[in-house]
Every structure is written in structure tokens, then in C-alpha cells.
Amino acid sequence: MNAFLIIVPLVGAALAAVWPGNRTRPWLLPAVGLVHAVLTLWLFVDPPTVAPTAWLGFDPLARAVLPAVSLLFLVCAAYGVSYLKVRSERPNRVFVALLLAVLGLLSAGHQARHLGLLWIATEAVTLAAVPLLHFNGTPRAFEATWKYLLVGGTGIALSLLGSFCLGYASLHGGGEGDLTFVALTAQGAGLSRPWVLTAWVLLLVGYGTKMGLAPMHTWKPDAYGEAPGIVGAILAGGVTTVAFTAILRVRAVIGAAGEGAIADRTLLVIGLFSMLVAALFLLGTRDFKRMLAYSSVEHMGILSLGAALGGAGVAAALFHVWTNGLTKGALFLSAGNIRRAAGSASMDEVRGMSILTPRSAAIFVTGMFAVTALPPFGPFFSELQIVRAGLASGHGAAIAMFLGCLLFAFFGLTRVVFGIVDGRPRTAARANGKRFVETAGVIVPPLLLLCLSLWLGLFCPATLREAWSAAVAQLFPTP
């Protein structure tokens, strides 16, 4: 049953690759997205029992995050239909097929219970995303793609090395080198300590590159800045999530090996460093799509910090995966509209968008407030939960720094957002903006994501909270 989450999108991708009509092909996106979402919901409500030796399984951790990715994809897919209609001059065969392939591979990565399989799935997602990044075909887009490939490729190579090191830790500790997480956790303290620590460093750097934690975040502003908004939304809400769950799964093994304290300390430091770097760059950037990338780096830092704070922190981080993914999706999609209407992404050339694209600008501003933790939107509550977890576990100084970075990020974001929204539009932009019509197809999806963020803040259902605590129970088993 859970295998269909992988098979359906991949079959959809194959279908898209042979589908003849450029105009009708994009409808495959919402069709497959809907099937995927229904299947995920079904599995969420009625979770299957996972055999402990299974390589793939809809286990509590997958149950806690995969629905968010599926939901985000479905809304983005609906946006994709209108987006590709606007971009009808470009062939979309590769774009649609690979977007669907990304969904299938993400489902595989989230459900992977084997270190090697997890690596294969994440690497495949990285590669499948490459043509999505240079969909616009500009020299800038190719430059961004090249940087993404080099930095991402090196990161993914290091995580493969880390996976091998963890396997060798098992061999050296007298185990059989079985790379399923269950077997590695069961071996626990029997894993060879030096190899476990080497593996942790390499895996954190490797998957941290994929997540976009500083200082391995350098690909992110370029890639998010040049890719279409829909791709940015799925990368920031889905691909980074699979890397985060990878780190959580590895962290559980390291914890079982008795090195949890060291792992938590590194996660804390790298999380705060990412937040700091992001906040500083947010104060300097003049490009509103790159701004979203730095904001994403900041939120990856928040996730990493949450993961360092023990069980309550991990539950809060899983909550934040949902709130950040959905809110960031609204921001990316509305920013895509604004970028298309304005013809540029730099605040030196763009202003007065509240006149040219009033609806997108309203969503963009509201989304910005939501993502900077304005109540009653979701991110406020997830970040509050992280603050609580931090204070309860005695990390007062870290929480103070966390709040300081949030404040600076708020300054940076408002500076750019109001810079492009306020004022009088330029004459050149006026002509360009007239050609872009804010149809329901490009307005409803980001609005819906914003509503979902509000819903998570105000009426977060008890089943979701229960799913997050079940995932925590899987990661921190009580003997």
C-alpha cells in the first residue's frame, strides 16, 4: 500500500514523458498530486504496521511529515497548471515529468528505513530537480544550476561516505554491517565509537548541505533565486524536509550508540549559526527571491535547533516542518507572480507592486508576517513550542540568540518586502505588469497555503500532535 506513494508519481512521470499535448500535460500534476494526497491521508488515518526489517515503510516519522509534503505538492500542482499556461511558449515535457518524479522520490526518501536506500532516494531527488532549476533557460539559471550541482554533489558525496562510515562502525563493532536503521539502533553501543563520530560529522555535513544549513547553504540563494516559484516552494518545503528527516533518523542511531549529547551540541551550534548567517544576509540582500532563500536557511536553522533540544524539541521541529513548508509555499508562489509581473526580482527595479499585482502583494505581505512568527499563523506556535522546549531543557542562552536572530530576520524581510510593495510602479514595469493577469489559478493556491498555515495555528488537530509524538517515540525509544 505504502509503495503506491512512490509508484503512482513515477508512473505519472513516465506518462508525462510520453504525453503528446503540451497544453494538456500539466493537468497530470494535480491529478497525480490528488491521488498521492488521498493515499497519504488514508495511510495517515489508518497507519499500517511496519515490519522491523522492512527497507521502506510508512513508519511514525514518515507519517509525521509526508502528509505535509503531499499537501504542499497538491496545492503547488494546481498552481502549476496555471503557471505552465502562462509559460505556454516553453515545452514542459521534462518539467512536468521531473516534478512528478521528485514527488515519487521524496515519498521514497521519507519512508526509507535503510541508510543506503535513503541516500539513493535523496541523491535521485537532487538530480531530478536539476532541469527544474534551469526551466527558464537563461544564463543566470545555468549558473545557478552549476553551483547547485557542484555544492549539492559534494554534499551528497560526503553523505555517502558518512553512510559507509556508519556501516563500517557496525562491522568494526562486530556487527554484520546491516544498514537498516533498526539494525543499527539495535547494535547501539556496540558500534565502533570513532567511526560513529566520523559518520555523524559527514552525514550532518552531507544532509545539511541538502537542507541548506550554513555554511553549506551557498547553493540556495542562487537556486531559489533563478528557479520558478513553484520549484522553489517544493524544494523549500519538500526536498529540505527529506534531508531533515534523514538527519533525525541518523541522530537516533547516534543516540543509541551513546553519543547523543555530542550530536545535540553540533545540531545546536550549526542551527544557531545558520540562523545568524541568514539574518545577516537578510539585512543585506536586495533580491526578493534570494530573500526567500535566506529565510529558508533561517528556518532550517530553527529545525536543527529544535532537533537539538530532545524529545519536546523534535516534536516542535516536526510541527515547524509543517508550518514552515506551507507558509513558505505561499510566499514562493506569490513571489513568483510578482516576479513575473515585474520582470525583475531586485528591489532596485521593482516597486509599487501593491498597485500592479494587488492580490499577490497582499498574500506576499501576509505570508511574510506569518513566516516571521506573527500570531495566529502556524509558525508562531511552532516557534513558541521550540522556545518552550529550549527553556525547559535549560538552553536559555541559545534561546536568547534564537530570538535575536528572529528579530534581525524580521527587519531584513520587512525591508525588502515593503521596498517592492510600496511606492509608485515604474513606467516600464507598468506595461509589463498589464500583460500579467492575476487569474484565480495563480491566486487561489498561495491563498490556500496561507489559510492552511492559519489553520495549523488556530485549530491544529489532535491527530497531528499525536502523529508528531509518535514520531518522537520512534526516535527516542524509552527502554
- Calpha distance 171→199 (Å, rounded): 13
Instruction: For residue 311, state whether it binds another protein (rule: CB under 8 A).
Output: no
| Torsion angle defined by CA atoms of residues 312, 318, 322 and 327, in that order, rounded to the nearest 10 degrees | 70
Instruction: For residue 145, state whether it binds another protein (rule: CB under 8 A).
Output: yes
Integer angstrom CA distances of residue 255 from 210, 260, 262, 382: 22, 4, 9, 24
How is residue 416 written as a grid cell? 525588502
Stretch of residues binding another protein (CB under 8 A), selected from 89-97, 165-173, 360-368, 456-464: 165-173
User: Which residue, 132 or 326, is less far from another protein as judged by CB?
Assistant: 132
Instruction: For residue 298, state whether it binds another protein (rule: CB under 8 A).
Output: no
Instruction: For residue 349, state whether it binds another protein (rule: CB under 8 A).
Output: no
Contact 286, 305 (CB under 8 A): no
Instruction: For residue 222, state whether it binds another protein (rule: CB under 8 A).
Output: yes
Stretch of residues binding another protein (CB under 8 A), selected from 5-13, 142-150, 413-421, 457-465: 142-150
CB of 146 to another protein, least distance (A): 6
Instruction: For residue 154, state whether it binds another protein (rule: CB under 8 A).
Output: yes
User: Which residue, 349 or 438, is less far from another protein as judged by CB?
Assistant: 349
Contact 169, 199 (CB under 8 A): yes
CB of 225 to another protein, least distance (A): 7
Instruction: For residue 171, state whether it binds another protein (rule: CB under 8 A).
Output: yes
Among 25, 199, 226, 445, binds another protein (CB under 8 A): 226
CB of 221 to another protein, least distance (A): 7
CB of 461 to another protein, least distance (A): 37
Among 83, 164, 207, 332, binds another protein (CB under 8 A): 164
Using alpha carbons only, give the angle 445, 240, 60 rounded to the nearest 5 degrees.
90
Q: Report residue 2: phi and psi, to 5°.
A: -70, -20
Number of residues that bind another protein (CB under 8 A): 49
Give which of 193, 184, 187, 190 is closest to 163, Cα–Cα. Answer: 184
Instruction: For residue 479, state whether it binds another protein (rule: CB under 8 A).
Output: no
CB of 282 to another protein, least distance (A): 11
Contact 15, 86 (CB under 8 A): no
Contact 67, 238 (CB under 8 A): no
Instruction: For residue 179, state whether it binds another protein (rule: CB under 8 A).
Output: yes
Per-residue b/e over 392-424, b at no fewer than 16 CB within 10 Å? ebebeebbebbeebbebbbebbebbbebbbeee
Instruction: For residue 94, state whether it binds another protein (rule: CB under 8 A).
Output: no
CB of 178 to another protein, least distance (A): 7
Integer angstrom CA distances of residue 213 from 177, 196, 473: 29, 21, 26
Site for another protein in 187-206 (CB under 8 A): 192, 194-195
Instruction: For residue 172, state whether it binds another protein (rule: CB under 8 A).
Output: yes
Give which of 361, 472, 360, 479 is closest to 421, Cα–Cα. Answer: 361
Composition of the chain by helix, strand, coil, percent to 5: 80, 0, 20
Instruction: For residue 150, state whether it binds another protein (rule: CB under 8 A).
Output: yes
As to burial, measured by CB atoms within 10 angstroms (0-12 exposed, 13-18 middle, 19+ buried), residue 332 is: buried
Site for another protein in 117-136 (CB under 8 A): 117, 119-120, 123-124, 127, 130, 134
Among 26, 33, 155, 167, binds another protein (CB under 8 A): 167
User: Which residue, 68 or 105, is less far from another protein as judged by CB?
Assistant: 105
Contact 32, 40 (CB under 8 A): no
CB of 277 to another protein, least distance (A): 12
Stretch of residues binding another protein (CB under 8 A), selected from 81-89, 109-117, 267-275, 440-448: 109-117
Instruction: For residue 178, state whether it binds another protein (rule: CB under 8 A).
Output: yes
Helices and strands of the chain, counted as H and E runs: 22, 0
Binding residues vs another protein (CB under 8 A): 114, 116-117, 119-120, 123-124, 127, 130, 134, 138-140, 142-147, 149-150, 153-154, 156-157, 160-161, 164-165, 167-168, 170-172, 176-179, 192, 194-195, 221-222, 225-226, 281, 284-285, 290
